[in-house]
């Protein structure tokens, strides 16, 4: 690893920053996709409506549209990156706390407005944190830094998906909401303590440069046809597991599991599965490279959906809940590691912020728009048939690997390894 040891590359302050900012990035998202659906379902909001609420996640899909603004303009406090981090985190704390004041049975419209705002500021926080992380990490620490970030991002799901769910079993839902908001202080305190990553004058001097050049470079690099194939692949690769996990909390509840059982058994199993997938995936990629990892991890990601098929057939069973959720998130973890590495490889270092915002926006389209239809599908065909449909929907992304990442391709192999070492 360059001229530094593995210990030097991992045990430094930059890695700690990656961990705390990853936690801050993940917390609002898991509030929206795990805790809010359970909250609404507890108030007997129907599955179709809960599924449609996934549409409020659209800022994660369109964040590349305003990422140039955050790149171009420097706020009059804390600096170019820290200023935007501070604003987004203050707004998130306020909005997440505000949810405790509403009742989903009678104030659903107001709740939708608030979760939409949370989605916007969460996506905006991701933009600036991604840029900050890229600017503080030397090239030989990119793999380790992004791995720490991704793992902390996942571990943040313990707060809304486990701690808050358990609290909701013993206290009013408002207490659970406020507990989640308090943990956003991790990101805010980090912002106040860290140093600014960019220098005055580093920002694009015109909006044209900030907006046009990143997209122009990407579409001209290998031709617009290849660029379109890459974007389509980003949509399809995780389509199946995005659909399968979109309404998993209401699914668990409909199988008869309590919020306490979901917050303990399912959440612990999912976290173990995702952690093992992330760690093993990162280690394996050093030897496999990105192309073969996309194939092997994609197969795990595909097959893991079948665990939910079995759970839907067996029903209320603690062991099956643990196995199905753990296996599903093992596949999710492996697939995510490979896809993040692929996006990193596809990003030009000169335009990291906007290009990575574009790639990550495209990659969450299934979670945002396709997943909004899952409630209707479930109510039409039932859970078992739905998860079989999810399995089938995962196949096209695998087939695209024949063009995007051929198994025996040697081109760029060394570059691949540099991305993950």
1 within domain boundaries: no
Give pLDDT < 70 ranges for the chain: 1-11, 139-144, 282-283, 286, 349-350, 367-368, 371, 409-421
Residues in Cβ contact with 48 at an 8 Å cutoff, skipping those fewer than 6 apart: 375, 376, 379
Buried b or exposed e, range 147-166, using 16+ CB within 10 angstroms: bbbbbbbbbbbbbbbbbbbb
Q: How many CA within 13 A on the CB side of residue 63?
A: 33
Q: How far apart are CA 63 and CA 195, in angstroms?
A: 25
Contacts of 55 (CB under 8 A, 6+ apart): 368, 369, 372
Q: What is the pLDDT of residue 267?
A: 83
The per-residue pLDDT for 189 is: 97
Q: Tell me the residue length of the chain.
A: 421
pLDDT for position 350: 66
In this predicted structure, what is the pLDDT of residue 7?
A: 61
DSSP secondary structure letter of residue 206: S
Q: What is the pTM of this model?
A: 0.73
pLDDT of residue 289: 74
pLDDT number for residue 161? 86
Query: Would you say 131 and 353 are in contact if contact means Cβ atoms under 8 Å apart?
Result: yes
The residue range of the domain holding 257 is: 6-420
pLDDT, position 396: 93
In terms of Cα–Cα distance, which of 356, 105, 103, 323 is closest to 218? 356
Return the pLDDT at 411: 46
Q: What local confidence, expressed as pLDDT, does residue 195 receive?
A: 92
Structure tokens at 271: 């976290």
Assess if residue 381 is contained within a domain. Answer: yes
Look at the chain and report how many structural domains it folds into. 1
121 contacts: CB under 8 Å, gap ≥ 6: 28, 88, 91, 92, 95
Q: What is the pLDDT of residue 286?
A: 66
Q: What is the CATH number of the domain that holds 316?
A: 1.20.1250.20
């Amino acid at each position: 690893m360059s001229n530094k040891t593995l210990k030097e590359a991992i045990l430094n302050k930059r890695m700690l920053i990656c961990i705390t900012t990853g936690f801050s990035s993940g917390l609002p998202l898991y509030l929206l996709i795990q805790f809010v659906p359970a909250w609404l379902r507890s108030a007997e909001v129907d599955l179709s409506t809960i599924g449609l609420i996934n549409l409020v996640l659209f800022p994660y899909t369109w964040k590349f549209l305003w990422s140039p603004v955050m790149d171009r303009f420097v706020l009059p406090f804390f600096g170019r990156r820290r200023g935007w981090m501070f604003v987004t985190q203050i707004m998130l704390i306020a909005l997440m706390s505000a949810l405790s004041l509403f009742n989903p049975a009678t104030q659903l419209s107001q709740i939708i407005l608030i979760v939409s705002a949370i989605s916007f500021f969460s996506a905006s926080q991701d933009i600036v944190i991604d840029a900050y992380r890229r600017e503080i990490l030397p090239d030989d620490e990119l793999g380790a830094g992004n791995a720490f970030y991704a793992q902390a991002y996942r571990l943040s799901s313990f707060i809304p998906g486990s701690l808050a769910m358990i609290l909701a079993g013993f206290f009013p839902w408002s207490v659970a909401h406020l507990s989640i908001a308090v943990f956003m202080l991790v990101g805010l305190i980090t912002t106040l303590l860290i140093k600014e990553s960019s220098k005055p004058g580093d920002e694009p001097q015109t909006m044209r440069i900030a907006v046009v050049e990143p997209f122009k470079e990407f579409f001209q690099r290998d031709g617009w046809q290849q660029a379109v194939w890459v974007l389509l692949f980003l949509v399809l690769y995780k389509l199946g597991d995005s659909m399968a996990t979109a309404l998993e909390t209401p699914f668990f509840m409909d199988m008869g599991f309590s919020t306490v059982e979901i917050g303990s058994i399912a959440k612990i199993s999912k976290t173990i599965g995702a952690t093992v997938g992330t760690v093993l995936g990162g280690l394996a990629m050093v030897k496999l490279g990105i192309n073969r990892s996309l194939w092997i991890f994609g197969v795990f990601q595909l097959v893991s959906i079948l665990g939910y098929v079995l759970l839907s057939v067996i029903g209320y069973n603690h062991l099956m809940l643990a196995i199905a959720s753990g296996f599903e998130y093992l596949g999710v973890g492996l697939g995510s590691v490979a896809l993040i590495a692929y996006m990193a490889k596809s990003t030009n270092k000169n335009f990291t912020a906007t290009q990575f915002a574009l790639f990550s926006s495209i990659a969450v389209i299934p979670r945002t728009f396709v997943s909004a239809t899952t409630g209707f599908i479930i109510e039409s065909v039932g859970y078992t048939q739905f998860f079989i449909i999810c399995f089938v929907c995962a196949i096209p992304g695998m087939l695209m690997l024949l063009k995007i990442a051929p198994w025996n391709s040697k081109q760029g192999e060394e570059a691949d390894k540099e991305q993950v070492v």
